[in-house]
């Protein structure tokens, strides 16, 4: 498999800037809403798929849940393990490609939040991930996916300047209507050195992602415009899809 853009994007620079967006306040609110929505029993087993630096996995483990964090970035996992150790949280962190996820009915819930989906090069790979999620869930288990709302995201299709961590950051944005991929070339300065990275992600419309989830053998039960549980509309910044694995042994094509 050739090196994909996301390998370079999710590194040390991502850690520097993501903390501005993924603030402690946002994380606390999202964890509260996750627990409200899923109503998990004590010590439930949770897979945080695309766990990044552990912002969701570590607090959930501190609450007594049995948490496995899975991510493709060694740099982010290193930060996650450090944070878990500092917090005294017992989390099993695994490095791997989501397409290679290999669990069999081990989890009460799988979480995929904070736009942790769509970075790989082809749509077939994303379908494979969803199939793997279904296999990883126990019968009756829940899959919670929270990501960009494409309808809203495209309203911001323009180049921007922002200040992040005290640095001016320039973003050059493009969207390919044929492939559905959003490409963002991001530049900033560290002292006199110009640095940059590229974000490339497949933005799915709600109808597409819901259909893919159902085709993977999961029953979609709720769709929201984010963790505020509002109805999904064109002006909803985020999209949240809750689905469940039925109790049958039906298996999707891998």
Q: Are residues 236 and 163 in the same domain?
A: no
Claim to verify: residue 101 and residue 186 sit in the same structural domain: no
What are the structure tokens assigned to 70, written together? 């899975």
**What are residue 201's phi and psi, to 5 degrees?**
-140, 140
Ranges under pLDDT 50 in the chain: 1-2, 250, 252-254
pLDDT, residue 1, reads 37
Same domain, 91 and 173: no
Q: Is residue 143 one of the residues assigned to a domain?
A: yes
Q: Residue 224 and residue 123: Cα distance in Å, rounded?
A: 23
61 in the same domain as 24: yes
Say if CB 163 and CB 188 are below 8 A apart.
Answer: no
Q: What global pTM score does this model have?
A: 0.91
Whether residues 117 and 193 share a domain: the answer is no
> What CATH number is associated with residue 62?
3.40.50.150
In a domain, 60, yes or no: yes
Quick one: 63 and 137 in the same domain? yes
Domain count along the chain: 2
Please check whether residues 192 and 233 belong to one and the same domain.
Answer: no
Judge if 117 and 224 occupy the same domain.
Answer: yes
What range defines the domain where residue 167 resides?
153-200
159 and 138 within one domain: no
* Residue entry with tokens 């494979």: 128
At residue 228, the pLDDT reads 96
User: Given strand 160-164, what is the order of strands in its sheet?
Assistant: 160-164, 167-176, 181-190, 193-202
Say yes or no: 121 and 89 in one domain.
yes
Q: Establish if 254 belongs to a structural domain.
A: no
CA geometry: angle at 135 spanning 207 and 128, to 5°? 50
Residue 244 phi, psi (nearest 5): -135, 150
Tell me, what's the pLDDT at 254? 46
12 and 76 inside one domain: yes
Residue 127 and residue 228 share a domain: yes
* Burial category of 181 from C-beta neighbours within 10 Å (exposed 0-12, middle 13-18, buried 19 and up): middle
């Amino acid at each position: 498999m050739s090196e994909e853009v996301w390998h370079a994007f999710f590194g040390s620079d991502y850690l520097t800037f993501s903390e501005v967006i993924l603030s402690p306040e946002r994380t606390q609110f999202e964890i509260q809403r996750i627990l409200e929505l899923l109503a998990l029993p004590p010590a439930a087993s949770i897979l945080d798929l695309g766990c990044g630096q552990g912002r969701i996995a570590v607090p959930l483990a501190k609450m007594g849940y049995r948490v496995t964090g899975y991510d493709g970035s060694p740099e982010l996992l290193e930060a996650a393990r450090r944070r878990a150790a500092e917090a005294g949280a017992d989390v099993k962190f695994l490095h791997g490609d989501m397409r290679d996820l290999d669990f069999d009915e081990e989890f009460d819930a799988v979480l995929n939040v904070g736009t942790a989906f769509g970075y790989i090069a082809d749509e077939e790979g994303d379908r494979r991930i969803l199939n793997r999620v279904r296999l990883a869930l126990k019968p009756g288990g829940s899959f919670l996916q929270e990501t960009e709302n494409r309808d809203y995201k495209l309203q911001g299709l323009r180049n921007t300047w922002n200040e992040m961590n005290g640095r001016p950051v320039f973003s050059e944005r493009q969207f390919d209507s044929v492939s559905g991929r959003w490409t963002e070339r991001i530049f900033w300065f560290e002292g006199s050195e110009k640095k940059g990275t590229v974000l490339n992600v497949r933005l799915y419309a709600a109808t597409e992602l819901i259909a893919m989830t159902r085709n993977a053998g999961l029953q979609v039960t709720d769709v929201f415009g984010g963790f505020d549980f509002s109805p999904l509309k064109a002006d909803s910044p985020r999209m949240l899809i809750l689905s469940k694995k039925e109790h049958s042994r039906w298996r999707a094509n891998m």
